[in-house]
Homo-oligomer: A and B are copies of this chain.
Amino acid sequence: MPYVKVEIAKGIATVEQKRAVIRGMTEVLVKELGRNPEYIFVVIDEIDTDNWGRKGQSLTELWQAANRDAAVAPATETD
């Protein structure tokens, strides 16, 4: 009966990548907790970058700042 909700930014994953996430998350619960995959749900929620915030700024703002910095030196820490 496990249920998994995965929130990611919109636009970072293809349909194939989302299938890989569903498969991978399910395998973790089968391997580590011995759950029956028949009743393992995984739901992916893709969040608009205007609707996701960290340290008080939207992801849209954080990524714009990271891109500006990357023009000078390679980004090391991005969300």
Residue numbers of A with Cβ under 8 A of B are 1-9, 12-13, 15, 17-29, 31-33, 35-47, 50-59, 61, 77-79
| Interface SS majority for chain A | mixed
Assess the B58–A1 pair: CB atoms within 8 A: no
Residues of B within 8 Å of A21, CB to CB, are 28-29, 32-33
Nearest 6 interchain pairs by C-beta: A22-B53, A24-B28, A42-B53, A26-B56, A1-B79, A44-B51
Q: Which residue of B lies closest to A78 (CB)?
A: B36
| A15 to B57 CA separation, bound complex (whole angstroms) | 12
Residues of B within 8 Å of A28, CB to CB, are 20-21, 24-25, 28
